[in-house]
Structure 1
Amino acid sequence: MNNIYMVFFDLGLNKGGITSAVLNRSRYFYKNSYPADIVTFDYKYNSSKVVKELKKSGKMYSETKLFNMFDFFESRSLVTHSEKNQFLYDYYDHLLNESLCIVQDEKISRYFSKTTGEYLLYKKGNFETGNYVLDRFENNQRKERVYYRKNVLKRIKEYDYKNRLISERFFDELGFPFLRRNINRETGKVGKIYLLTDNKQFENSSELCSYFLSGLIEDRSENIIICDGPGSFPKILAAGFTYVKKYAFIHTNHINVRNKEKNKETYILKNGDQLDGVIVLTESQKNDIIRDYNLNNVSAISNFIEIPDVVNKPNNDSKKIVGMVSRLVENKGFVYLIEVAKIVTSIYSNVSFNIYGEGEYRSRVEELIQENGLENNFKLMGYTNDPNKAISEFDCVVSTSQIEGQGLSIIEAMLQQKPVVVFNVRYGPSDFIKHEQNGILIENKDTEKMANDIIYLLENEETAKKMGKQAREDIIKQYRPELIMQQWEKVLDLQ
């Protein structure tokens, strides 16, 4: 039987993109009797809680397992101990008990020496639940920050005299250290790592991650690794597998908005001959990669697409809504969307552009809204856990993105029978949008044409409805789960 391991950096609760794609893939693989689990490298004190919440929400399949590097090494540490490390707890308890405590409020307390008045400790958090941090000071300078979770000491950070992080220590549930890593005080990057459970030293995080992979996954031909995070690729190569099948899934465009190669994705493509296969989302990207990198092991497989029921549009006032579900990042082309909104609302003041999503570009979008006087017609709605409900509010869906891997948010809109007006960029839209049949493709950055087509759809409701209905039919036909599963079975040679 094949065992499939899908590798990327971290798994979080409120993440879309790669996380959603991998969770969905695991679900379909398991339903077809192919165990497909997730492997991550990040540190989370509550990774089990994250998994529990994801499964409770239905985002993560009930049988999917998470193999996290820190959890893996912590479990090794616990095997070697049977009792609590009382010495560690006694040390910090003694500091607290022998100090004078001054309570600021229910979340903050400070501790001072009873004999000298020296500032010794700072305690902050929820003391009832046992989730708090404890800062230890010497000569009025912070030396350590100790992290407690449910009164269990989990991590200690150490600082230099300039309050710069210089190292971290990680502890198992019984309070024994299992890993220490040094931090470059100038750059903040991780340096040498000491794996105390295995008496081993590593020069950097990549070496540790490779060691973890080689310990987790048995080197057999039945085992398959899919690298879903581009930063994980060198770690997989360095793990030294001889028989494990290795694939890299590139979820995004390997070319940036300035038409330059992306470093991580390009590294994968330039080393693609060391893999059993490279997988991308669209045929057009596959063809470009074969041409530009002379690779003959490239395949195109779409993400699994959930086919939801159509959510009825809620009753609202006469205002028309043009919408988008998107991360608020620069390459989504918000400067062009603002131009489009300005043209549309200059003709129809009862149109609102509603954007669901969050990101580091939010403040800049807010500035653009104010600079163009669109405060009453351009709304940032924040993150949504229910994109289909958000999409149901829209009369029309727009995308000014400058770069795509596939355009999943557009596909989701089409499944909700919404007419879409989209810049025709690499890659994705032209793979599933038939111009003026199930959507409208606009030459990139032609904001005037986009605005005019939006106005046309808002004025011609029957045309918009017909286009939306055709969109759903076409997407369901093109992205049937059984068809995508067949493609995976062929590429991975699943048995």
Structure 2
Amino acid sequence: MTVYNINLGIGWASSGVEYAQAYRANILRHTNENAKFIFMDLILADNIAHLTQNMGFRHSEIIWLYQFFSDIPIHPTTMTVEEVLSGVVGTPEYSEKLSDRVVRYFYPETDSFVTCYFVRNSNQLVEHAEFVFRGNLLRKDYYSTKRYLSEFFVPKDGVAVCYNRTIYNSDGTTAYEILIENGEEVLFRFKNHVCYGRTEFIAYFLEQLQFTTEDIIILDRETDIGSIVFERAVRDGAKLGVVVHAEHFSDAIQTDDYLLWNNFYDYQFTNADKVDFFIVSTQAQKDVLAAQFAKYTPHNPKIIVLPVGSIDCLKMSDYRKPFSLMTASRLAGEKHVDWLVRGVALAHEVIPNLTFDIYGSGGEEGKIRETIEKYHAGEYIHLMGHCDLTDVYQQYEVYLTASTSEGFGLTLLEAIGSGLAMIGFDVPYGNQTFINNEENGYLIPLSKHRVEDVIAKSFSEEIIRLYHTNALSYMRNESYRLAEDFLTKNLVEKWKKLLVEEIAK
């Protein structure tokens, strides 16, 4: 049996879907079943091996669509500057450091230069390089242990336009080529096969995997690939599972006769008769989804409750910084971290020893920084960036979340597993799973009007209440008690049961 987990992309600041997959990888290792994690997007800014390794995946678990047809394995970059420049005629006369990760090497005699983009925290290992001749970008090369991909460019209206991508084998021969028109991949040319467009390419890739009735396909994201995956699973007889990672419908558009599914799940739900099982993270979501299938569709699919994350053990601590608050998430609009900043600033007026650390990165960082400055809170509210939080949570006393919807909430699980008291909105499904109101924290009612002044005041009041009622010790114990249900050993047994049942069908 092989469990194939299908996703699109991955980055340094990944979403909950990628974190859920990383947790699942750990669980499946404990079941001793073979697991592969497939990424379908073209990923060029970083070597995918670095991105997946950063999340905790093993290189042997990763299949990348674009590298699958090459014999070069997924591997961290080992290409040095000297190796890159050895392929260039002549010797660079001088270089210019453009940033910590970018250095440009100049060849005045040929009116050319090479720009090297280094692996993070390295000034010798090159992830990719750009080759410019007489002011025109000619080629970009991408490296792991070898050059595995090149992009070729021509100038058009003063802009470098990519017209070809070539993927290589370890001996330098061409594995296949991609022809590009107007930014679209229009043709994939192999030695004995041609695919017209990306859809055919993905279908050809899935065909090469040779699924069997002993295999299970788990679809984590379906955008632009759902129908291809469904068709191949049905054709090969593989079991097909779909993970529902977020709220699956629009509460604002629901009548007795009509329900608007989340567009990320509409295809899967519409074709639920072809799905062997759906996975949700909480019993509450299963109850809602099952009732909606019964009311709005002719389908009655199997829905399984399997938390997308687990903790190997409870993280205890002999010391926590007094009056310390934290949050951890992508710094995205839907996380509303700026609301938390305002709430903490108000609470700080009453409890001047409060500190608040914000972990994560993302597009809202500038807005959050401006909010911190607006409330003159820079001395006690800090942006900590993206980092490994394995041994960080237990240094704090309270976890705050202003997300208005969480399908599960992996950071919430990690927080209760480290004994933090919790404060967040009374919304499905993560907050209601990990915050027992008045027991291990406080749930704040969320008005549809979402007046920010009211929200900030609500957070400040609950922070103040928590400290003034001396509830911290009791809530810490309740968080630990709640977290015990999500220990890895318990989830491993649930996954074993699922895999056995599906293959036995």
Contact 1:310 1:417 in 2 (8 A): yes
Q: Which residue of 2 aligns with 1:230?
A: 222
- Looking at structure 2, the residues matched to 315 and 284 of structure 1 have their Cα atoms a distance apart, in angstroms, of 33
Q: CA deviation at 1:347?
A: 1.5
TM-superposed CA distance for 1:470, in Å, is: 1.6
Contact preservation (8 Å) 2:27, 2:492: no
Q: Residues 104, 486 of structure 1: CA spacing in aligned structure 2 closer, same or farther, 3 A cutoff? A: closer
State the secondary structure of the residue aligned to 2:166. strand
Deviation of 1:409 after TM superposition, in Å, equals 1.4
Shift of 1:244: 0.8
- The yes-or-no answer on 1:31 pairing with 2:30 is yes
Task: Could you tell me which runs of 5 or more consecutive residues in structure 2 were left unpaired when the two chains were aligned.
Answer: 74-82, 98-102, 254-259
Look up the match of 1:103. Answer: 94
CA apart distance, 1:225: 0.3
Partners of 2:17 and 2:231 in 1: CA distance: 23
Following superposition, the deviation at residue 46 of structure 1 comes to 4.5
Q: 2:473: which partner in 1?
A: 465
Q: What residue is the counterpart of 1:85 in the other structure? A: none
- Supply the distance in 2 between the matched residues of 1:407 and 1:130 (Cα, whole angstroms): 36
- Alignment CA distance shift 1:227-1:198 (3 Å): farther
* Structure 2 contact 426–444 (Cα < 8 Å) conserved: yes
Structure-to-structure mapping, 1:322-337, within 5 angstroms: 322-337=325-340
Preserved CA contact (<8 Å) 2:146 2:170 = no
Alignment root-mean-square deviation, CA: 3.4
After alignment, is 347-356 or 232-241 more displaced? 232-241
* 1:403, distance to aligned residue in structure 2 (A): 1.4
Question: Which residue of structure 2 aligns with residue 286 of structure 1?
Answer: 286
Q: Is the 2:149–2:165 Cα contact (8 Å) retained in structure 1?
A: no
Distance 1:478 1:112 in 2: 62
Which residue identity does 2:155 align to in structure 1? D
TM-score (norm 2): 0.80
Pair 1:68–1:147, CA change in 2 (3 A): closer
The number of equivalent residue pairs is 459
Aligned pair in 2 of structure 1 residues 278, 132: CA closer, same or farther (>3 Å)? closer
The normalised TM-score by structure 1 is 0.81
CA distance in 1, matches of 2:124, 2:412: 46
Equivalent residue in structure 2 for 1:482, among 483, 487, 490: 490
Identity rate of aligned residues, in percent?
A: 17
Contact 1:76 1:197 in 2 (8 A): no
Q: CA-to-partner distance for each residue in 1:410-446, whole Å, 9 max, x for gaps?
A: 2221121211111111222223432212332111254
TM-superposed CA distance for 1:314, in Å, is 3.9
Matched-pair contact (CA < 8 Å) for 1:369–1:375: yes
Please give the secondary structure, in 2, of the residue aligned with 1:160.
strand
Q: What does 1:293-304 align with in structure 2 at a 5 Å threshold?
A: 293=293, 294=297, 295-297=299-301, 298-304=303-309
Correspondence list, 1:112-191, <5 A: 112=108, 119-124=111-116, 133-137=129-133, 140-147=135-142, 152=147, 154-161=149-156, 162-185=159-182, 188=183, 190-191=184-185
Measured after TM superposition, the shift of residue 385 of structure 1 is 0.6
Shift of 1:493: 2.2
Aligned to 2:240: 246
Is contact 2:234-2:274 (8 Å) kept?
Answer: no
Distance apart, 1:404 and its partner CA:
0.6
Residue aligning to 2:465: 456
CA distance in 2, matches of 1:101, 1:35: 48
Residue 8 of structure 1 and its aligned partner are, at CA, apart by: 1.2
Letter of the 1:473 partner, please give it: R
**How much does 1:196 deviate?**
1.8
Cα displacement (A) at 1:328: 0.8
Flag the structure with more relative contact order, 1 or 2, with Cα contacts below 8 A and sequence separation at least 6. Answer: 2
- Segments of 5+ residues of structure 1 without an aligned counterpart are 78-88
